[in-house]
Structure 1
Amino acid sequence: MFDIADELRRWLAEGREFAVATVVSVSGSAPRGPGAALAVDDEGTVIGSVSGGCVEGAVYELCAEALADGGTRVQRFGYSDEDAFAVGLTCGGIIDIMVTPVGAHAPAREVLSSALSAVADGGPTALARVVRGPAELLGGVLLVRPDGSYEGGLAGHPELDRTAVAEARALLDGGRTGTVGLSADGSHCPGGVTLFVESAQPPPRMIVFGAVDFAAALVRAGKFLGYRVTLCDARPVFATRARFPEADEIVVDWPHRYLRTTVTDGRTVLCVLTHDARFDVPLLVLALALPVAFVGAMGSRRTHVDRERRLREAGVSERELARLRSPIGLDLGARTPEETAVSIAAEIVAARRGGTGAPLTGARTPIHREERAAVVV
C-alpha cells in the first residue's frame, strides 16, 4: 500500500474511514506486483489500482463489504476455464488480494499512520500483516524498523511477534516485499501463519558521470524510472543546474574521488558517459569492485576495446570486467540523446528484472516474470 501512501496519510489526517486492498501474491502473468494497492473510503472515493482494471470493480465491492462489517478478507482472482465469465485476470495470471478495513477505532489505524509517516519521511520501513492463519490473527499488523523496534502486534502472541519482526527485518534489509510462512508458535513451518511483509526503502540511486548532452536525457529517464539521480563531473562550467534541472543533486568533483566517498548499495546504478580515459579508468576500477546493481560505460566498440585494455593494466580482474556493460544500452538503433537514454534505461530495467531485451513479438518467455521480491517459506 506504500504506492498510495500520500493519499492514505491525507485520509487518515481527515479522519476518514476506508478499506485498503493490497496485492499480497502473484502467480503467472499479472499487471501489478505484491504491494500494489487500491483504497475505498466511506463515501465511495477510490484511489490506487491492483490490476490495471481487470478486477477493480470486484475489489471495490470487497472494500465496501469490509467497511460495512469491519472484517479482513483475502480473495483470489484468476482466469478459470470452468467459469470463463467469472471476474478474473484476462492476462491469465492469479493474484491474491487482502482487504483491510481501517475504521475510526480500528486497532491497526495508529500503526498504519506511523508506517505511512515513516515512508513519507523516506525512512526504511516494513509493514507486516497476517493474511492466512487462525481467525484471531487475521488483520494483525506490525510496523517494523531496521533496528528491530516495532509497533502493533499479532493478537497477543509475543513469541510470534518476535519471529515476525525478525522475518520482516530480513526482507526490509533486502528491500523486498513478499510472504513468509510461520507456525502459530513462531517457528518456521509451512501452513501455520502466512505473513505479508511490505518493505519501503528510499529510492535507489542513479549516478551519471559526465555532464554531456546524453547525460541530460539520461537524468530525465532515471527520474522517470524512480531513481534519485546524481550528476557528477569535474568541470564546473558543464555541471550546472541550468543544464541539468531535473537532477536531484549535481556534484563538481573528479568522478572516482566522489564515488569513493559517496554511499552506494546493491540497488545503485552507475552510468559512465565521460568516455575519456582520464576519468573513465580510475572511476571504473573503483566502480567494478563495488557491490552495486549496474555499471555501464558509453563509447564506441573501439573505445570499449581500448578501455578494457587499460582496465586490465590497472589490475581489474576478468570477473570484474564481466560486470561492465559496455557499450552501454540495448541495440535500438538510437541516434539522438533521448533515444540513447531510452536504450540505456531499457538495459537497466532488463538487468533489474531479469529481462532479455528481445522483442515480445514471437517470444515464448513470460511477459511478467515471477517477482524476485516474493518469498514463500
Structure 2
Amino acid sequence: MKELIQIIQQVKELQKTERKFVLATVVQVDGSAYRRPGARMLISEEGDWWGGISGGCLEGDILKKAQLALYSQEYKSITYDTREEDPFALGIGLGCQGVIEIHINPFQDQINQLVTALEDHIQGNVAHTLSICYAGDFQISLEEAAESHASKWAEDTFTEFLPAPMTVWLFGNQFDSHAFIHQAALLSWRVNWVGILSKMKANLPVNGRSSYEDFGTIKNSDYVVMMTHDLDKDVKILQRLIELHTKPAYVGILGPKKRFEKLQNHFEADLVTQLPIATPIGLDLGAEGPEEIAISILAEILSIKNNRNGQRLHLRDRAIHE
C-alpha cells in the first residue's frame, strides 16, 4: 500500500513539471523472487525512480529498458530468469531463483488512468480486483472483490488483487500509543486514534481523532488495538463492540492474562467466543519498550491479515509465497 501511495504522489509531481515517465510492473513470477506480481517501479526520463521490482538487483537493467520504451513509445516486456547458470546471463549469482516477467508502459495517459483507479481503491475500505488490458484499446477496470485471489497475466491482460486498505482503531493516548502510530505510518496504515482529546499529540500521522464517547463505526474488516491502560475503559469499548454486533478482524488488548480475567468478570458470555481477541497482545518477540512492543503488535496484525502463524521462515515447510 505504501508503494502505491508513493507512486501516485510521484506521478502527480512529475505531471506538474511536465517530465515524462514510464511504469514498470511485475506481472508474473515463477519460482522465488523478492517481489510479487503487482510490484511497481515508476521511472522518470532523467532516470529517477520510485518503488521497485526486485531487491535492487534488477533495477539497474530496468532503468535502461525504461529509457528505450520511453524513446520508442512502445510497450516492452522483459523476462529475467535468475535460475540461469550461464555466467554471462543477467541474474547469475542473485539471491532469488525464479523467472520474473516485467511489463513497461511508457504512455502517460494510460498511467494516469491507472493512478485514478488506484486512488479510488485507496480512498475506499474494500478489496478490489484491478484488471488492465494492454491489447488493442487500453482498458482498465476496478471491481469490488468478494475474496482474495491470485494475480494473473494472460493475453496481454494483468489481473491483480488489491486488499482492502489497512484500517486500525487505536484506543489509548499514553506515550506507547505514539510508537505504534509512527510504526503504522511507515506501512501507510490508516490509524483512527481514540482517546482523551486534550491529551492526544497534534502532530502524529493519524487518519482521524475521536473521544472514547464518540469514536464512530468500526467495520468487520478493521483491526482494533486497545492500549488504554484503563480496565473500565476497556470494558466499555468491548461492551459497545458487542452491543453493535461488530466483529472486527482482530481485537488486541494490552496487558497480561490476569488482567483479561478481570475484564471477563464484567461479562456473562465468554468474550473470546464473541470477539477475535488476542491478549496479551503481539507476537512473542521478547519485546521491551514502546517501539519494540509496537513492532510485535504490527507483526501479529500482519500475520492475521495474511493468514500466517508468525513462525520463523526457516521452519516453514512450504513456499514463502504460495
TM-score bracket relative to the smaller structure: 0.7 to 0.9
Give the structure 2 partner of residue 215 of structure 1: 177
**Secondary structure of 1:53's match?**
coil
Give the structure 2 partner of residue 110 of structure 1: 109
1:251 alignment partner, one of 210, 213, 222: 210
Where relative contact order (Cα < 8 A, 6+ residues apart) is larger, the structure is 1
The Cα of 1:98 is off from its aligned counterpart by: 0.9
Q: How many residues are treated as equivalent by the alignment? A: 311
Amino acid of the residue matched to residue 32 of structure 1?
Answer: R
Deviation per CA, 1:67-122: give whole Å up to 9, x if none.
233322333323225536522352224322111122xxxxxx33432442565585
**Partner Cα separation in structure 2 for residue 85 and residue 364 of structure 1:** 33
2:34 alignment partner, one of 19, 31, 36: 31
Give the structure 1 partner of residue 224 of structure 2: 270
- Are 2:223 and 2:250, in contact at CA under 8 Å, matched by a contact in 1? yes
- Are 1:39 and 1:63, in contact at CA under 8 Å, matched by a contact in 2? no
- Are 1:275 and 1:298, in contact at CA under 8 Å, matched by a contact in 2? yes
**Partner Cα separation in structure 2 for residue 343 and residue 140 of structure 1:** 44
Amino acid of the residue matched to residue 241 of structure 1?
Answer: K
Give the structure 2 partner of residue 69 of structure 1: 72
The Cα of 1:331 is off from its aligned counterpart by: 1.6
Give the structure 2 partner of residue 97 of structure 1: 102
Amino acid of the residue matched to residue 63 of structure 1?
Answer: A
Give the structure 2 partner of residue 240 of structure 1: 200
**Secondary structure of 1:295's match?**
strand
**Secondary structure of 2:315's match?**
coil
- Identity over aligned residues, as a percent? 27
Give the structure 2 partner of residue 179 of structure 1: 151
1:335 lines up with 2:304 in the alignment: no
What are the ranges of 5 or more consecutive residues in structure 2 without an aligned counterpart? none
- So what's the TM-score if we normalise by structure 1? 0.69
1:352 lines up with 2:314 in the alignment: no
1:196 lines up with 2:196 in the alignment: no
Deviation per CA, 1:211-260: give whole Å up to 9, x if none.
22322222222222221222212x455x3235x73434321233xx52xx
2:248 alignment partner, one of 279, 283, 292: 292
**Secondary structure of 1:169's match?**
strand
What are the ranges of 5 or more consecutive residues in structure 1 without an aligned counterpart? 103-108, 132-136, 145-167, 182-190, 371-377
Distance 1:16 1:272, change over 3 A: same
**Secondary structure of 2:86's match?**
coil
Amino acid of the residue matched to residue 359 of structure 1?
Answer: R
**Partner Cα separation in structure 1 for residue 197 and residue 130 of structure 2:** 43
The Cα of 1:318 is off from its aligned counterpart by: 5.2
**Partner Cα separation in structure 2 for residue 359 and residue 127 of structure 1:** 32
Give the structure 2 partner of residue 149 of structure 1: none
Amino acid of the residue matched to residue 300 of structure 2?
Answer: E
The Cα of 1:328 is off from its aligned counterpart by: 0.4
**Partner Cα separation in structure 2 for residue 274 and residue 338 of structure 1:** 17
**Partner Cα separation in structure 2 for residue 85 and residue 310 of structure 1:** 69
- Are 2:252 and 2:278, in contact at CA under 8 Å, matched by a contact in 1? yes
**Secondary structure of 2:106's match?**
strand
Distance 1:297 1:57, change over 3 A: same
- Are 1:72 and 1:138, in contact at CA under 8 Å, matched by a contact in 2? no
- Are 1:6 and 1:120, in contact at CA under 8 Å, matched by a contact in 2? no
- So what's the TM-score if we normalise by structure 2? 0.80
The Cα of 1:40 is off from its aligned counterpart by: 3.2
Give the structure 2 partner of residue 280 of structure 1: 234
Amino acid of the residue matched to residue 138 of structure 2?
Answer: G
**Partner Cα separation in structure 1 for residue 29 and residue 90 of structure 2:** 16
**Partner Cα separation in structure 1 for residue 16 and residue 150 of structure 2:** 28
**Partner Cα separation in structure 2 for residue 60 and residue 245 of structure 1:** 36
Amino acid of the residue matched to residue 25 of structure 1?
Answer: Q
Distance 1:92 1:290, change over 3 A: farther
1:18 alignment partner, one of 14, 18, 21: 21
Give the structure 1 partner of residue 56 of structure 2: 53
- Are 1:12 and 1:113, in contact at CA under 8 Å, matched by a contact in 2? no
- Are 1:231 and 1:249, in contact at CA under 8 Å, matched by a contact in 2? yes
Amino acid of the residue matched to residue 299 of structure 1?
Answer: G
Deviation per CA, 1:305-352: give whole Å up to 9, x if none.
3334444x1x3565435x211110112222322222122122112222
**Partner Cα separation in structure 2 for residue 337 and residue 42 of structure 1:** 43
2:139 alignment partner, one of 138, 141, 154: 141
The Cα of 1:302 is off from its aligned counterpart by: 0.8
